[in-house]
Chain A
């Protein structure tokens, strides 16, 4: 079951797309994620699984191709990096409004603007607080290894279709570019037309047959009363996701007196910082949100009864720290440490920040 391979994070995404039976990939090159489209073009899955791969003329076109494909009940995905994702956000809002399942990957780079091609986590707000217009959420998965890059393609699609919602893999240039061993999934067949009817027949635009009403993929509801109802329906769905699909991982939290909160590549760095602390006899633990939306709010609130302080570590000027503070609700001190603009902190640097900000400069 599964083959062991050595892969870049980006390559693992491409490989997983084929293996999990993705129907279509539509994307536009941008560093640091171009290997995804390149890998797919080399692998030519249209000759094996029948998966469609297309280099779109822009990110704007790519996300709207996703809208077109997702409307047909197909499992479609796109990938990009920060500036490209910004371009896609109108389409993402439409996808959320029309309740279309799909998978989007953001291999985050430093911003704002054209910024840098170096890794960053400064798109957290964009990913978890909407980003586009209107009240909507995406399921946001934050892989911390090449294995998770691979696995979350499958998980992202599963959750997207479970809730009829776009899933987003929020990763960064570190995970995208680094090579690790990965166990790749066995090849899954793409869904047949019959399976699509069974799974999405109620809404997918597969051609109006005589035995059913029209299916229309739209986010337009002109009457305010109806639009409010639609919003309430979306919000109810989001509450359901918050109840059922929060995912996180804990490291050395059992006896922890202090906690770091970090996701993705920052969590990998913090794991080492925790080891440094433990060597010095400091009982530091780590909580790694795997879903940054829905956020592990309840578990953090529980841990606030156990630890004396929390440090949110992100490669941003402090974004997730707001979610940590909301979860803790003033109970204990919460601080932020991060490098910005494409800089990656070292474990020692993070530990020092922890000492200064949480232990009080000891």
Chain B
């Protein structure tokens, strides 16, 4: 195919896929191959497609995605470590017609912020939670996370996570699914074109659930951290499928159109 032919194809009317305008032009600080960028993008696409940019409030965590506000062109609140669900609770209750979501990593959500996420879910706050689980602390340089697999080496479990020394990995998503206020609990990944599409559908459903006022939508994305895992992005995807999916299998865990107990409704 000649250069001329390519130039003819690369033409506005033939466009089938491009960056949504809800993603800013800032260069993401994430390492090559990091899942954060894909998840950011599909959230942005959902916001764009639902046409809710002017009604969406994002709550960013502490961790690698602390700077998420640089990449999604919406209003953001940057939360203290683990507290994003508390911010989201107030923002949503005070502005019930807005779409409020938290974006939290495994350290933020499943370690320091366990109380806040549990109670926000149990109250059935009408918010969407995006939980990035890559089983490691990226921002601080590869320390053990609550979700780190047994035997997995990190800078604070250099000989591999052991039950005796560190305890078990925390399957917090399964715990959350037990709570009556949690309406939609699902585990997704973004390592192939098909899974990215599925994860995007889950996120869209999570946002649409806010209209239905049925309780919290909790979307775990099993993710990779090539830098923290010290393998290439492509190898990371394979490692995730082989190891992470055993403990954290993708799929819907709970999907109730109506939460068992909805404190929002009188």
Please report the C-alpha to C-alpha distance between residue A94 and residue B56 in the assembled complex, in whole angstroms: 22
CB <8 Å contact, A205 and B91: yes
**Minimal beta-carbon separation of A67 from chain B (angstroms):** 6
Closest Cβ of chain A to B21, distance in Å, is: 11
Is B31 in contact with chain A by the CB < 8 A criterion?
A: no
Residues of A within 8 A of B87 (CB): 64-65, 67-68, 71
Contacts of A177 in B (CB 8 A): none
A179 at the interface (CB under 8 A from B): no
A/B interface sample: 29 pairs, CB < 8 A: A24-B93, A26-B90, A56-B86, A56-B119, A57-B118, A61-B86, A61-B89, A62-B86, A64-B86, A65-B86, A65-B87, A67-B79, A67-B80, A68-B88, A69-B91, A69-B94, A72-B90, A72-B94, A72-B95, A90-B80, A206-B95, A207-B53, A207-B57, A207-B74, A207-B98, A208-B75, A218-B76, A218-B78, A220-B66
CB nearest neighbor in A for B122: A57
Contact A206–B75 (Cβ < 8 Å): yes
Q: Which residues of B contact A41 (CB under 8 A)?
A: none
Report the count of interface residues on A (CB-CB < 8 A). Answer: 38
- Asked whether A23 lies within 8 Å of B115 as measured between CB atoms, the reply is no
Nearest A residue to B75, CB-CB: A205
Which secondary structure dominates where chain B touches chain A? helix
CB contacts (< 8 Å) of A216 on chain B: these are 69, 75-78
- Nearest CB in chain A to that of B96: its residue: A52
B238 contacts across to A, CB distance below 8 A: none
Contact with A along B90-106 (1 / 0, CB 8 A): 11011100100000000
Counted as pairs of residues, one from A and one from B, with CB atoms less than 8 Å apart, the total is 123
Bound form: Cα–Cα A293–B116 in Å: 32
Could you tell me which residues of chain B, from 47 to 66, have a CB within 8 Å of some CB in chain A? 53-57, 59, 66
Q: Tell whether, in the assembled complex, residue B78 and residue A91 are in contact, meaning their CB atoms are under 8 Å apart.
A: no
List 9 tightest A-B contacts by C-beta distance, closest first. Answer: A68-B87, A68-B90, A64-B86, A218-B78, A64-B83, A205-B75, A69-B90, A65-B90, A57-B119
Chain B residues with Cβ below 8 Å from A205 are: 57, 75-77, 91
